[in-house]
Amino acid sequence: MKLRLALIAVALAGVSAAPPASSAPAPAATPPERACASAEAKQFDFWLGEWDLTWENGKGTNAITRALDGCVIMENFNGGSSMPLRGMSLSVWSNATGAWQQTWVDNEGGYLDFSGGLQKDGRMILERKGKVEGKEVLQRMIWHDIRPNSLIWNWERSEDGGATWQVIWRILYRRRAGGPHL
């Protein structure tokens, strides 16, 4: 019995004294090519920065940054004292769809989803199907007249399947003084 206990004690001591299987860090894997490194994923770079906004009866601000390792464009809109609307959007280039995808949410419970991209004429257009007063419509956002320190953004609606469009809201963007031109 004593011999048996001694053998068990020796066996247990050997187990606890055994070195760990591997304490060295695993070699770093070669990172795959980043999906957001493509030229298409840079098409929204004109929008990055701090902006002062003006529209027919108001003023606000918008801060546009990159997030999540640079793969996501994040917008933070503030209607200022002109209007209580506060909102944010996340935009990402989708290799799977070959288009930009954007989701907008706001402090009024709004949720909108868009898809689209950069047009040959230099306009960025994202659109969606929506409902206004129970009627199906098309809605779109257009960034146009894009310059290093300014651009125009339109919110438009079509009630005839896209044959004609009505500008609902036009915002003039001016890059904040001292802000980086990206």
Top-level class of domain 35-175: mainly beta
Residue 24 has pLDDT above 90, yes or no: no
Q: What is the pLDDT of residues 44-62, one digit of tens each?
A: 999 999 999 999 999 999 9
Pair 164, 156: CB distance under 8 Å? no
Please give the model's pTM, rounded to 2 decimal places: 0.79
Q: Per-residue pLDDT tens for 104-149?
A: 999 999 999 999 999 999 999 999 999 999 999 999 999 999 999 9
Average pLDDT in the 21-32 region? 47
81 residue type, one letter: S
Q: Residue type at 62?
A: N
Locate 177 and state its tokens.
Answer: 């003084």
Q: Please answer whether residues 145 and 122 qualify as being in contact, where contact means their C-beta atoms are separated by less than 8 angstroms.
A: no
pLDDT (0 to 100) of residue 7: 38
For residue 93, what are the CA distances in angstroms to 3, 19, 34, 36, 73? 71, 48, 12, 7, 9
Residue, of 4 and 168, whose pLDDT is higher: 168
Looking at residue 148, its pLDDT comes to 95
Do residues 70 and 85 touch, judged by C-beta distance below 8 A?
Answer: no
CB neighbours (10 Å) of residue 64? 21
Q: Would you list the domain boundaries of the chain? A: 35-175
Confidence at 177, pLDDT banded by 50, 70, 90? confident
Mean pLDDT of 5-13: 39
Please give the mean pLDDT across all residues of the chain: 85
Q: Which of 178, 182, 173, 180 minimizes the C-alpha distance to 51?
A: 173
What's the Cα-to-Cα distance from 167 to each of 10, 82, 106, 126, 164, rounded to whole Å? 84, 20, 21, 14, 10
Region 88-99 average pLDDT: 96
Alpha-helical runs (H) found in 1-152: 2-17
pLDDT value of position 36? 86
Quickly state the pLDDT bin for 23 (edges 50, 70, 90).
Answer: low
Side chain identity, residue 50: E
Using CA atoms, how far residue 61 sits from 12, 116, 155, in Å, is 68, 24, 16
